[in-house]
């Protein structure tokens, strides 16, 4: 029997190289031989500041990015989280067995409240509980994610264990699947991960034009001179070149770095061209798809229907086990 895979992306902006390398690249591998469910997690998207006039477009944009990157709706379920309200029902039951103190210790919660001190809401605190419900409602075995999500997967397993212990074995143990570039750093601050919500100058979007990619990389932080050792900023650019660039370019620049003859302006130029080439088919497909919004909506609505059918079964079992049935 094929294993089930679940993962989600917040509708908080355009997808960037971190999302692609850390998550989507694994999705494409896994969809070949697993039952995959990928979602635009819009309920998570509203836990940080958002504009109600823009959210619809953001949801559609993430769906377009998924499809243009190669998520195949014939093979995988692609849906919007809020179209499957049973996630919230399960999340409520989980929240009743989850200690508040453990949620307050989650690093992403601490980061987000630092980023938005005027926006410390309950949804942000219970984010990992909803994420546990997102995953466990499909009894997923594998969750491909970036490194920043590992504490959430740990939390998912804790919640599953607590539920199973109290109400009987219901949920499987979940495995996080990390890719080779599980933490791509910001272009402007190599101490922070690349994020949709940190502003468009700090990331390269999958849909950026070759010119924009060139301009953004030109301003990216690098070392001054060569000391032989790579700083995190340079390491990040080399990682991008290794994963997205032409093999010979990576070897050439690595050798130049070792010799101390590297010119970062040249590295950035070549890297920009390689990234632009890598995503050329993506840009074409995305343009085609954005001219067909009805097709995208149809994919999402069919995906939601399939997801609801699975979620309904799990909730039936959960309510029976918890004793919430007459």
CB of 43 to ligand ATP, least distance (A): 12
Quick check: 146 binds ligand ATP (CB under 6 A)? yes
Catalytically annotated residue among 25, 86, 139, 196? 196
Distance, CA of 237 to chain centre: 20
CB of 187 to ligand ATP, least distance (A): 11
Q: Is 229 a catalytic residue?
A: no
Residues 6+ apart with CB under 8 A from 259: none
* Cβ neighbour number for residue 101 with a 10 Å cutoff: 7
DSSP state of 193: B
Q: In the sheet that 77-80 helps form, which strands lie side by side, from edge to edge?
A: 77-80, 35-41, 4-10, 142-144, 175-177
- Assess contact for 31 and 218: CB atoms under 8 A: no
Catalytically annotated residue among 25, 86, 193, 268? 193
Quick check: 188 binds ligand ATP (CB under 6 A)? no
Give the interface segment with ligand ATP, choosing from 63-71, 181-189, 275-283, 304-312 (CB under 6 A): 181-189
In the set 5, 14, 19, 204, which binds ligand ATP (CB under 6 A)?
19
In the set 3, 121, 197, 226, which binds ligand ATP (CB under 6 A)?
197
Quick check: 216 binds ligand ATP (CB under 6 A)? no
Quickly list H helices, 47-149: 55-69, 86-95, 100-104, 107-115, 122-125, 127-136
Shortest CA distance to 149 belongs to which of 115, 111, 113? 111
CB of 203 to ligand ATP, least distance (A): 8
Quick check: 145 binds ligand ATP (CB under 6 A)? yes
Contact positions vs ligand ATP (CB under 6 A): 9-10, 12, 18-19, 21-23, 145-146, 148-149, 182-184, 193-197
């Amino acid at each position: 029997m094929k294993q089930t895979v679940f993962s989600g992306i917040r509708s908080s902006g355009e997808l960037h190289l971190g999302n692609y390398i850390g998550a989507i690249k694994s999705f494409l591998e896994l969809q070949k031989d697993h039952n995959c469910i990928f979602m635009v997690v819009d309920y998570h998207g509203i836990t940080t500041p958002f504009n109600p006039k823009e959210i619809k477009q953001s949801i559609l944009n993430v769906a377009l990015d998924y499809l243009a990157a190669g998520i195949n709706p014939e093979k995988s379920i692609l849906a919007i989280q809020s179209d499957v309200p049973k996630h919230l029902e399960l999340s409520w039951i989980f929240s009743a067995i989850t200690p508040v103190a453990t949620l307050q210790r989650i690093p992403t919660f601490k980061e987000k409240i630092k980023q938005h001190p005027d926006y410390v809401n309950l949804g942000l605190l219970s984010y990992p509980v909803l994420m546990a419900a997102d995953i466990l409602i499909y009894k997923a075995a594998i969750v491909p994610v970036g490194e920043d999500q590992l504490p959430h997967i740990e939390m998912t397993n804790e919640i599953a264990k607590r539920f199973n212990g109290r109400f009987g074995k219901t949920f499987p143990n979940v495995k996080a699947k990390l890719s080779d570039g599980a933490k791509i750093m910001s272009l402007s601050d190599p101490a922070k991960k690349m994020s949709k919500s940190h502003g468009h100058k700090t990331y390269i979007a999958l849909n950026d034009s070759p010119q924009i990619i060139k301009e953004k990389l030109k301003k990216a932080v690098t070392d001054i001179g060569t000391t032989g050792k790579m700083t995190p900023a340079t390491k990040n650019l080399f990682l991008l070149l290794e994963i997205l660039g032409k093999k010979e370019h990576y070897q050439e620049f690595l050798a130049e770095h070792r010799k101390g003859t590297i010119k970062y302006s040249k590295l950035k130029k070549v890297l920009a061209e390689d990234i632009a080439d890598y995503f050329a088919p993506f840009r074409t497909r995305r343009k085609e798809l954005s001219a067909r919004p009805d097709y995208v909506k149809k994919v999402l609505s069919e995906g939601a229907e399939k997801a609801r059918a699975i979620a309904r079964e799990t909730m039936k079992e959960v309510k029976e086990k918890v004793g919430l049935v007459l």
